[in-house]
Amino acid sequence: MKKIALTIMLVVFLVLAATFVITLIGFQEEEAEKGYLEVLSSGRAGDFGYYLYHANGSGNATLFGLDEEPRDRVYILSETGIGMESFNDFVDEMDTLKEYGMTVEVIGRGDVRNTRDGVLIVPTGAIPDYILNTIGSTGTFNTLVYIGKTDLKMASSLRKDYWYTQLDEETKEKIIVKEYTLDEFMDDPALVEAFKQEVLENRWAVVSEESHIFENYGGDSSLFVPLEETGYLRFLYTAGPQRGVDSSGLLPEEPVRMETDGHVYPWERAAVSFTLSNTTGKAFYTVEKNGVILLSEDLGRVGVEKAFYYTYEFEEPGDYIVKVYDSSGMLGSTYIHVKDIKIVREGTYDIRTVFKVTVDGEPLKSGDLYISVNNAEAEKYPIIDGRATVAEKLQSGKNVFRVQYLEYKEDITYTREQASTIETYLTWGPFILVFIVVVYVLASMRKRPMYTIKVEVLSRKERNLLEVSFDDMEKCFEYLQDKFGWDNVPVKLSELAYSVRKNITDGADVLDGDLEAILKAMEKKGIVERYGDYYQLKGWGDVKNGMLMRKARDTLVKNGVKFKETKHGFDTGSKIISAEYADLKKKLLLVFDGEEDARRFMKSLKGSERARLEVKKANDMITLVPIDRLEDLL
The answer to whether residue 326 is domain-embedded is: yes
Looking at the fold, whether 455 and 515 belong to one and the same domain comes out as yes
The answer to whether residue 225 is domain-embedded is: yes
Q: State mean pLDDT over 303-326.
A: 92
pLDDT at residue 25 greater than cutoff 60: no
Looking at the fold, whether 188 and 81 belong to one and the same domain comes out as yes
Closest CA to 263 of 198, 326, 339: 339
Distance from C-alpha of 303 to C-alpha of 584, rounded to nearest angstrom: 55
Looking at the fold, whether 325 and 275 belong to one and the same domain comes out as yes
| Final residue of a structural domain among 364, 397, 416 | 416
Residue, of 616 and 343, whose pLDDT is higher: 343
Q: Amino acid identity, residue 554?
A: D
Looking at the fold, whether 565 and 533 belong to one and the same domain comes out as no
| Final residue of a structural domain among 279, 314, 338 | 338
pLDDT at residue 178 greater than cutoff 70: yes
Which H, E and C letters describe 88-152, residue by residue? HHHHHHHHHHHHHCCEEEEECHHHHHHCCCEEEEEEEEEEEHHHHHCHHHHHHHEEEEEEEEEEE
Residue 139: band (very low, low, confident or very high) from pLDDT cuts 50, 70, 90:
low
**Percentage of the chain surpassing pLDDT 90?**
52
For 523-539, the pLDDT digits (tens) are: 888 999 998 889 999 99
Looking at the fold, whether 532 and 547 belong to one and the same domain comes out as no
3-state secondary structure of 361: coil
Structural domain boundaries enclosing 274: 259-338
Looking at the fold, whether 98 and 131 belong to one and the same domain comes out as yes
180 Cβ neighbours under 8 A, 6+ residues apart:
147, 148, 191
Q: Where are the alpha helices (DSSP H) in 504-542?
A: 512-524
30 Cβ neighbours under 8 A, 6+ residues apart:
none
CB burial of residue 144 (10 Å; 0-12, 13-18, 19+): buried
pLDDT at residue 616 greater than cutoff 90: no
CATH code, domain with 197: 3.40.50
Q: Give pLDDT, residue 532.
A: 83
CATH code, domain with 278: 2.60.40.10
| Final residue of a structural domain among 360, 390, 416 | 416
- For 203, 389, 464, 572, 624, the CA distances from 616, given in Å and listed in that order, are 12, 44, 59, 19, 11
Looking at the fold, whether 530 and 555 belong to one and the same domain comes out as no
Q: How many structural domains are present in the chain? A: 6
**Percentage of the chain surpassing pLDDT 70?**
86
For 427-457, the pLDDT digits (tens) are: 555 555 555 544 454 554 444 344 445 443 3
Residue 3: band (very low, low, confident or very high) from pLDDT cuts 50, 70, 90:
low
Looking at the fold, whether 323 and 345 belong to one and the same domain comes out as no
Looking at the fold, whether 153 and 168 belong to one and the same domain comes out as yes
Looking at the fold, whether 384 and 492 belong to one and the same domain comes out as no
Residue 138: band (very low, low, confident or very high) from pLDDT cuts 50, 70, 90:
low
